[in-house]
Chain A
């Protein structure tokens, strides 16, 4: 009678080794801190993974100062219009049904009179921007988050 080892030979061993490696790697990912995750996977991944924690942290900080927000809040990545890619994160605030639709905040930079620099932050319902970003009415920005690597 043929054993499992006889039937599948080295293939079974390969699958087992692959599974062990995958299991070890996933354990390593969970063990990494937010700074390491930022370096490996980038801002977009970190914001999606920790958005709930960061949102609670901001709301708790506001609550401690008696400045809590009466509206829905959510943390989303900031997308640089022109530069491309995610450059930070923002907490958006507003009408609950509108806040749910927000996927990112588009940042447009403008200079005037040489010395003034304006960063316009527009909550949008997409993760990419083509052309001029179209904002979602009823939603604004409460917090801007920088990530230090």
Chain B
């Protein structure tokens, strides 16, 4: 190959690398989201929402906190760090963190965990999973626990209160749960979780649980058959 040919090959390779770099570029951004009368900040990676900051703290608004997280992520991307560098860690019972190469990305605190009906560590894990997926990585498959087959046959029913998982103790109606007698016997209430799918679909998720608390345990095999509303007389 002559000199001119070599130059052509080099040019083609450089172009190819530029195109590939553009195609696989990872970028974080932040935006404001209004939820009822509350302002929230959303962090996006490659246009996918990876976490929502739902409160102001440390003199920063929710959106400003989201921008801070996006800036930390962009700094890590610019330094060539990949999804494999992400880690989570538990600080204490109130806080867990997502880090990249030892640097803080975001803190999952008790407030955000309660809003999501989970623990700080579980929330940090969920955010880490969202980040890995948005960056095109693979989430490590966790070994599925070996569990006996669940019986869902209806043998008994029971009427229990429904409570909102964001504010435990506040009853917002009642539900009739059905399932195997032994499982229905364990059900103390139905926890309701609200979620929004594509801004148009509102999901009311009903979880039969064995206690009324912020971290209720699902009773497998029991499900909802009827919802009961009480019309207040005023």
- Verify A95–B152 contact, CB threshold 8 A: yes
Question: Are A64 and B118 also in contact (CB < 8 A) when A35-B200, A118-B228 are?
Answer: yes
Mark interface residues in B119-151 (1 if CB within 8 Å of A CB, else 0): 100110010000000000000000000010010
Mark interface residues in B48-87 (1 if CB within 8 Å of A CB, else 0): 0000000000000000000000000000000000000000
B86 to chain A, nearest CB (A): 17
- The CB with the most chain A CB atoms within 10 A, among B122, B177, B178, B205, is that of B205
- Verify B200–A144 contact, CB threshold 8 A: no
Total B residues in contact with A, Cβ cutoff 8 Å = 47
B3 within 8 A of A: no
List the one stretch of A5-13, A18-26, A53-61 in contact with chain B: A53-61
A122 to B200, CA, bound (A): 24
- Verify A146–B205 contact, CB threshold 8 A: no
Chain A residues near B221 (CB-CB < 8 A):
71
Chain B residues near A140 (CB-CB < 8 A):
152, 154, 177-179, 222-225
A11 to chain B, nearest CB (A): 43
B117 within 8 A of A: yes
Number of A-B contacts (CB under 8 A): 144
- Verify B202–A148 contact, CB threshold 8 A: yes
- Verify A147–B207 contact, CB threshold 8 A: no
A142 to B203, CA, bound (A): 10
Q: Which residue of A lies closest to B117 (CB)?
A: A65
A61 to B126, CA, bound (A): 10
A141 within 8 A of B: yes
- Verify B117–A138 contact, CB threshold 8 A: no
Chain B residues near A61 (CB-CB < 8 A):
193, 195, 203, 205
Query: Residue B226 contacts which of A89, A114, A121, A139 (CB distance < 8 angstroms)?
Result: A121
Chain B residues near A57 (CB-CB < 8 A):
195, 197, 203
Q: Which residue of B lies closest to A108 (CB)?
A: B226
A69 within 8 A of B: yes
A148 to B201, CA, bound (A): 6
Query: Residue A145 contacts which of B177, B203, B228 (CB distance < 8 angstroms)?
Result: B203
Chain B residues near A122 (CB-CB < 8 A):
225
Q: What are 27 A-B residue pairs whose CB atoms fall within 8 Å in the complex?
A: A35-B200, A61-B195, A62-B193, A64-B126, A65-B116, A65-B207, A66-B119, A66-B215, A93-B152, A94-B152, A95-B152, A117-B230, A118-B226, A119-B227, A120-B226, A122-B225, A137-B153, A138-B153, A139-B223, A140-B152, A140-B154, A140-B224, A142-B223, A144-B206, A144-B227, A145-B202, A147-B201
Which of B's residues lie within 8 Å of A, judged by CB?
A: 116-119, 122-123, 126, 147, 150, 152-154, 165, 177-179, 191, 193, 195, 197-207, 215-216, 218, 220-233
Q: Which 7 A-B pairs have CB atoms at the shortest separation, nearest pair first?
A: A140-B223, A94-B152, A120-B226, A65-B117, A64-B126, A67-B218, A143-B205
Instruction: Using A65-B207, A121-B227 as known contacts, list a sample of 9 further A-B pairs with CB atoms less than 8 Å apart, ordered by residue number in A.
Output: A34-B198, A62-B193, A65-B165, A67-B218, A94-B152, A114-B231, A120-B226, A139-B152, A146-B202
